[in-house]
Amino acid sequence: MKKIAIIGATGYTGSELVRLLTHHPQVEIVLITSETHQGKRFSDIHPQFKGICDIELQSAEKTGEYQPDLVFLALPHGVSMEYVKKWQDHPFKIIDLSGDFRLSDPRVYSEWYHQEHSYPGGFQKAVFGLPELYREQIRNSRLTANPGCFPTGAILAAYPLLKEGMVDARRLIFDSKTGVTGAGVKPKLVTHYPNVGDNFKPYGIQKHRHTIEIQETLAFSSGREVTVQFTPHLLPVDRGILTSLYALPVKKISRKHLEQIYKTYYQNEYFIRLRQEAPQIKHVRGTNYTDLSVFYDRRTDNIMVFTALDNLVKGAAGQAIQNMNIMMGLEEKTALELIPLMP
Amino acid sequence: MKKIAIIGATGYTGSELVRLLTHHPQVEIVLITSETHQGKRFSDIHPQFKGICDIELQSAEKTGEYQPDLVFLALPHGVSMEYVKKWQDHPFKIIDLSGDFRLSDPRVYSEWYHQEHSYPGGFQKAVFGLPELYREQIRNSRLTANPGCFPTGAILAAYPLLKEGMVDARRLIFDSKTGVTGAGVKPKLVTHYPNVGDNFKPYGIQKHRHTIEIQETLAFSSGREVTVQFTPHLLPVDRGILTSLYALPVKKISRKHLEQIYKTYYQNEYFIRLRQEAPQIKHVRGTNYTDLSVFYDRRTDNIMVFTALDNLVKGAAGQAIQNMNIMMGLEEKTALELIPLMP
Amino acid sequence: MKKIAIIGATGYTGSELVRLLTHHPQVEIVLITSETHQGKRFSDIHPQFKGICDIELQSAEKTGEYQPDLVFLALPHGVSMEYVKKWQDHPFKIIDLSGDFRLSDPRVYSEWYHQEHSYPGGFQKAVFGLPELYREQIRNSRLTANPGCFPTGAILAAYPLLKEGMVDARRLIFDSKTGVTGAGVKPKLVTHYPNVGDNFKPYGIQKHRHTIEIQETLAFSSGREVTVQFTPHLLPVDRGILTSLYALPVKKISRKHLEQIYKTYYQNEYFIRLRQEAPQIKHVRGTNYTDLSVFYDRRTDNIMVFTALDNLVKGAAGQAIQNMNIMMGLEEKTALELIPLMP
Amino acid sequence: MKKIAIIGATGYTGSELVRLLTHHPQVEIVLITSETHQGKRFSDIHPQFKGICDIELQSAEKTGEYQPDLVFLALPHGVSMEYVKKWQDHPFKIIDLSGDFRLSDPRVYSEWYHQEHSYPGGFQKAVFGLPELYREQIRNSRLTANPGCFPTGAILAAYPLLKEGMVDARRLIFDSKTGVTGAGVKPKLVTHYPNVGDNFKPYGIQKHRHTIEIQETLAFSSGREVTVQFTPHLLPVDRGILTSLYALPVKKISRKHLEQIYKTYYQNEYFIRLRQEAPQIKHVRGTNYTDLSVFYDRRTDNIMVFTALDNLVKGAAGQAIQNMNIMMGLEEKTALELIPLMP
């Protein structure tokens, strides 16, 4: 049994990691940490886990003592980098679920995150943990930057089009809609029930941090100059992101041809389900799937790609475990053959 | 007191018309019809109206006897045209809330609605009832085609940009999100609670009928050739449409300049509220407002316009009453100074 | 025009008062206060009011200068009593929407509210503002304690039964279910969207403060010793309270007889709608109605009464305006002939 | 591997059975039937199963050919009894998820279900499949009547109190609140999204069929005469039932003593979680747990018990699999160690 530590127990990514790892046959959670709640049980903070995970929370200071093989950082950005820095010479592997090591360099980071990066050296070491694009690099990675929730759905939607040079890379429009859990476990005005229920709105227009993560990753993976317009909107649901991509073809195209391209890229990807009909977020709820459909409108000459995923699973904890499996030489889908909770 | 008849009592547009007309000081509802429920009270079908509107439902056959000044057709498309045809020589004015007379000609109609039109002559007489564009024509209209819910928000978003020649008219992308009431009062799989709650999906991709209504109206009103990509998505809320418009500028532009243009067009429009921050559907719930914000992203050179409205009010019954007020020479906002129900 | 001041602008009762008073033809809001937001406009705090109420917020210190005829206190309990005390010799009338003056004496208050009362003298002056029970006293009141949201629905359900001596007064069970706005405008864990959506739970078991308000009011109004079991539950909706009352008859009874009793008490009450079928919270949304049905199960010998109301209207701001109309000698339902927003 | 057939693929209990059985290591689904959809794949009807269960649907006529060891009937009541009758001499065991064999005799059945029973002989053979009460009988059963969703939560709440003679058995009040999936997969007015969202109401007052199922089971299991008042209410959520039981003690009691009693009955029951704080439906979502808390209010002398369960799992398919495991001699919790999806 491989030993796993989860740093940061109180958030949704922390509780999702526990939900998914509990039935993993080859790993064991040896440590869950919380600085504010140490001494309490995990199920005191997340009462749904009563009888399932009653492990006592420890300080992250004790991590070394537990000799973990791999550590998940389920921490806010800005905090995560401190642990990565501190633990750079430790023998365990790290998967960081924050945004601290997903971008190309510290300068871009501080431009979009509005703070200095305290561990610039980490950028060289970190691998962007999107297995469908970077499986081989992840296999050998010791520090994996787990992708953001929006970027996962956006990048998977656009990557084959860009890689094949089918579309104008400077005119990519991602109109995304997300559930509330993306805003975290802490009550805020924006997550106050009466402000969300029966409501819908765009937010972070022009300046959401995931914009640059999408743009850089698409540029590096396709070798093209890419410009991304990314607009998130807030849905009155807990989980799920649906992304609508609009792109302009630069060649003659047909829907059939497009479907063929996506099939070439993704038919062997267990976690991507290509669909004829439009995807729905409830069809992937609680799972590591990304459902994807592609359309071509001859009348307007637009390509449209839609992806649906669960922001806490393929958009966070599930993908992190997928990365863990790869990094540890385990079967990639272990503990991730989940079935959607529908309805 | 002007006499009003409402043809079709059972749907949401019918009940919204009654909700809004009840407090109108210059008109009186003399007749509400339903073929299937005649003899029952309106409040038997819509129990929330108990003690407010207990009028007995009649057959539409009796309309002439009540000598109405104006008749609202709150009927499905295909049914509406039959009444307009039958009543073409009646003295009362008609506001048709269906899609039967919104397009340019019968050929376009049958192409998008997949049925023959039984009253082609009506197209010449009908005025497209969007007061912010066609107030003067509406004033003299005897047959007003009340706009669709999506077209209202989409057209108001794009019209100033097209009229001023600011954007590429062939590359307009409308990504719209609507509440469930748009699908009507009748239970279907698509409106079954477990299929909607916690869910979100696009639908009608490439072929939704409102596409052509948006495109034709923008073309006629701006005098340009317009191509519209319109994609509706289904929100787990009752009411509200948020439309996100993406357009490519053809001139040098700034946000300030754009805001100035929208101010020029809309600052005297009582029902359009220009906002700095992004609009939210709950901020207009139950009202005839359209909230609108415009953005320009210098980094990507994209213009983005967002509109929010209540699909049953500005998107249907409220706009119909706005048209009624204009057609009858009444103060346009009578009975429409509504305050959003928030939360 | 009577002059009205609203003390406390930021909460939901404050914004509901403004929503409902805006169209009142005989009163004028001359002042809205907020200590934390003074200088901002009301519509900055509640953006749905843009163009409707853009009045500048003032400190409550300035209240005297505006010479209001009546003041609404839309403040938390504990804060309200300070203003009532300070303003006891002012000429204006006061309607207090908090729980500070609803109980019989300071001792009971501190037992259930776990704090000392700073103005014990106020209890003698305050009238419990439930017009259906205390209309005459309210007419002459200078300090009206507006009832709690749960107590309004619970008391209206049980009062005729107790007054007529039909039931065992020591065995009243009120199982109530409320929307989230009852918890206020401030984000908390309990109102965090992911903790409320798709969820349902009882809370405040045995010790909710409204228990004693229901019990005392029923005891005083019926002249009996009353014991109340009250259990609130939290619904994933914004507005609405449904209360299910279970009572044991002490006489031979029939449903017909029960309906006759409720008719006797309530048929002239505009805001109470007696129904045959069970009430629904959406049928009263946004209005001052209480919908009520009574049942008798011969098989079990239980009486069941169900009431539905909007906690922010009949349960707070609407009832406050009903009280205001009575206290000022205006027609009681002025500005309150509201139509439910359904759907 | 034991062979399993599921008769009736289209409903929610059918799809939940597949969701839960997919990962069962000792059984194999050899047949799923649908008369209306035969020839289609299971994932055509339930698209969330794409790539997970794409088995072709057959007619139930073919059941014998597949030589199943056990058959689940996921059919409406009235239909189920026909299959039980027809298959009475077949070698396979049957678990019936409908209400057709849960009551004591055909006369009671027709009184509450308003139809004649076509297989009266089945009542003698059927075991009521609530393992916490009837585990030993289930072990030897060849026909198990899987309990209703409401009865499961109600019976588990009251059973220890009645068995121990703690309460007045003629005065049991069950106030239950359920998610929408209890109303089935077929669109109806009552499940139309705009009629459920933001709404809440009681229904089936005095006459819901689960009343008699609760009452009979509690009477038989405790050996007392029992009278049950049961009132269901409809929640705007997909899944979950919360039941609030109010009972009158007939002895001196304390909360501590009550908790001791429940511990005695349930501490070895894996699927019952005793809690200090009130249960919440989201804490058991997607799982076979019943969360339970008991309270005693000394002030009013009332006992209150609250249970929360997922109506599609412990209230239907999960309990059916629990029964299957028992009937087949497998470890009872196999495939049922599920973790709540929260949020």
Domain boundaries, chain B: 2-125, 150-311
Angle between helix A131-139 and A318-327 (nearest 10): 40
Spatial separation of the C-alpha atoms in residues C91 and C69, rounded to whole Å: 8
Closest-CA residue of D relative to A53 is D339
* Known active-site residue C53: no
> What pLDDT is recorded for position A215?
98
Neighbour-count burial of D259, counting CB atoms closer than 10 A to its CB (0-12 exposed, 13-18 middle, 19+ buried): middle
CA angle C146-C148-D305, nearest 5°?
Answer: 165
- DSSP, collapsed to helix, strand or coil, labels residue B277 as coil
- DSSP, collapsed to helix, strand or coil, labels residue B93 as strand
At residue D302, what is the residue type? Answer: N
ipTM above 0.90, yes or no: yes
pLDDT > 90: percent of chain B: 100
> What pLDDT is recorded for position A166?
98
In the structure encoding, which two tokens stand for residue C127, read together? Answer: 């009238």
> What pLDDT is recorded for position B184?
96
**What is the rounded average pLDDT of the residues A296-316?**
98
Do A196 and C191 lie within an 8 Å CB cutoff?
no
Spatial separation of the C-alpha atoms in residues D150 and D290, rounded to whole Å: 12
Which of D206, D282, D302 faces C229 most closely, judged by CB atoms?
D302
For residue D317, the distance in angstroms to the closest alpha carbon of chain A comes to 13
Task: Judge contact between C144 and C129, C-beta under 8 A.
Answer: yes
Q: Could you tell me which of B129, B114, B75 has the C-alpha nearest to residue B98?
A: B75
Task: Judge contact between B87 and B71, C-beta under 8 A.
Answer: yes
**What is the rounded average pLDDT of the residues D246-259?**
97
> What pLDDT is recorded for position C85?
98
Give me the residue label for tokens 């299957």.
Answer: D324
**What is the rounded average pLDDT of the residues B247-275?**
98
Total residue count of chain A as it appears in this document? 343
Do C244 and D200 lie within an 8 Å CB cutoff?
no
Which of A195, A201, A278 faces B278 most closely, judged by CB atoms?
A201
Spatial separation of the C-alpha atoms in residues C337 and C321, rounded to whole Å: 12
* Phi, psi dihedral angles at C107 (to 5 degrees): -70, -45
Flag whether the pTM goes above 0.95.
Answer: yes
CB–CB contacts below 8 A, A to B: 133
Residues of D in contact with A47 (CB under 8 A): 275, 277, 280, 283
Spatial separation of the C-alpha atoms in residues B26 and B5, rounded to whole Å: 14
Long-range contacts of A43-47 (CB under 8 A, 24+ apart): A45/A9, A45/A10, A46/A15, A46/A18, A46/D342, A47/D275, A47/D277, A47/D280, A47/D283
Q: Could you tell me which of D306, D320, D288, D328 has the C-alpha nearest to residue D145?
A: D320
Give me the residue label for tokens 């509450």.
Answer: D112
Q: For chain C, list residues with pLDDT below 70.
A: none
B155: DSSP letter:
H
Spatial separation of the C-alpha atoms in residues A302 and A293, rounded to whole Å: 14
**What is the rounded average pLDDT of the residues B331-342?**
98
Q: Which of B48, B271, B313 best probes binding to C when mutated, by most C CB atoms within 10 angstroms?
A: B48
> What pLDDT is recorded for position B257?
98
Of the pLDDT bands very low, low, confident and very high (cuts 50, 70, 90), residue B156 is: very high
> What pLDDT is recorded for position A194?
98
Spatial separation of the C-alpha atoms in residues D44 and D64, rounded to whole Å: 25
Q: Could you tell me which of D170, D174, D172, D193 has the C-alpha nearest to residue D183?
A: D193
Do C285 and B181 lie within an 8 Å CB cutoff?
no
Do C233 and D177 lie within an 8 Å CB cutoff?
yes
Spatial separation of the C-alpha atoms in residues D75 and D96, rounded to whole Å: 8
Catalytic hit among A32, A57, A97, A149:
A149
In the structure encoding, which two tokens stand for residue D61, read together? Answer: 């006529």
For residue C257, the distance in angstroms to the closest alpha carbon of chain D comes to 18
Which of D194, D197, D295 faces C205 most closely, judged by CB atoms?
D295
- DSSP, collapsed to helix, strand or coil, labels residue B91 as coil
Residues of A in contact with B195 (CB under 8 A): 282, 343
Architecture of domain C150-311: 2-Layer Sandwich (3.30)
Q: Which residues contact D213 (CB under 8 A, 6 or more apart)?
A: D99, D102, D103, D147, D148, D151
Q: Could you tell me which of B46, B12, B18, B47 has the C-alpha nearest to residue B32?
A: B18
For residue B314, the distance in angstroms to the closest alpha carbon of chain C comes to 15
> What pLDDT is recorded for position A14?
97
Which of A203, A242, A246 faces B200 most closely, judged by CB atoms?
A242
Tens of pLDDT, residue by residue over B60-79, are 999 999 999 999 999 999 99
- DSSP, collapsed to helix, strand or coil, labels residue C54 as coil
Do C340 and B48 lie within an 8 Å CB cutoff?
yes
Q: Could you tell me which of A15, A17, A14, A9 has the C-alpha nearest to residue A288?
A: A17
Q: What is the helix (H) or strand (E) element at residue B306, kind and residue range?
A: strand B302-309
For residue B216, the distance in angstroms to the closest alpha carbon of chain C comes to 31
Give me the residue label for tokens 């979950």.
Answer: D240
The count of other CB atoms within 10 Å of the CB of residue B182 is 23
Tens of pLDDT, residue by residue over D257-316, are 999 999 999 999 999 999 999 999 999 999 999 999 999 999 999 999 999 999 999 999
Task: Judge contact between A215 and A158, C-beta under 8 A.
Answer: no
* Residues of chain C that touch chain A, judged by Cβ-Cβ distance less than 8 Å: 12, 180-181, 185-189, 191-194, 196-198, 236-238
In the structure encoding, which two tokens stand for residue C123, read together? Answer: 């209890």
Q: Which of B48, B192, B195, B198 best probes binding to D when mutated, by most D CB atoms within 10 angstroms?
A: B192
pLDDT > 70: percent of chain A: 100
B182: DSSP letter:
G
- CA dihedral over D8, D10, D11, D12, signed as positive or negative: positive
Of the pLDDT bands very low, low, confident and very high (cuts 50, 70, 90), residue A111 is: very high
For the domain spanning A2-125, the CATH number is 3.40.50.720
For residue D303, the distance in angstroms to the closest alpha carbon of chain C comes to 10
Neighbour-count burial of D104, counting CB atoms closer than 10 A to its CB (0-12 exposed, 13-18 middle, 19+ buried): middle
b/e code B237-268 from CB counts within 10 Å (16+ = b)? bbbbbbbbbbbbbeeebebeebbebbeebbee
Which of A177, A199, A343 faces B281 most closely, judged by CB atoms?
A199
pLDDT > 70: percent of chain D: 100
Task: Judge contact between D50 and A275, C-beta under 8 A.
Answer: yes
Tens of pLDDT, residue by residue over C311-338, are 999 999 999 999 999 999 999 999 999 9
Task: Judge contact between B72 and B320, C-beta under 8 A.
Answer: yes
**Mind spelling out the 3-state secondary structure of chain A?**
CEEEEEECCCCHHHHHHHHHHCCCCCEEEEEEECCCCCCCEHHHHCHHHCCCCCCECECHHHHHHHCCCEEEECCCCCCHHHHHHHCCCCCCEEEECCCCCCCCCHHHHHHHHCCCCCCCCHHHHCEECCHHHHHHHHHCCCEEECCCHHHHHHHHHHHHHHHCCCECCCCEEEEEEECHHHHCCCCCHHHEHHHHCCCCEECCCCCCCHHHHHHHHHHHHHCCCCCEEEEEEECCCCCCEEEEEEECECCCCCHHHHHHHHHHHHCCCCCEEECCCCCCHHHHCCCCCEEEEEEEECCCCEEEEEEEECCCHHHHHHHHHHHHHHHCCCCCCCCCCCCCCCC
Catalytic hit among C149, C308, C309, C324:
C149
Spatial separation of the C-alpha atoms in residues B59 and D273, rounded to whole Å: 59
The count of other CB atoms within 10 Å of the CB of residue B168 is 13
Do A281 and B201 lie within an 8 Å CB cutoff?
yes
Tens of pLDDT, residue by residue over A177-228, are 999 999 999 999 999 999 999 999 999 999 999 999 999 999 999 999 999 9
B144: DSSP letter:
E
Task: Judge contact between B204 and A297, C-beta under 8 A.
Answer: no
Spatial separation of the C-alpha atoms in residues A7 and B204, rounded to whole Å: 44
Beta bridge partners of C308: C242, C291
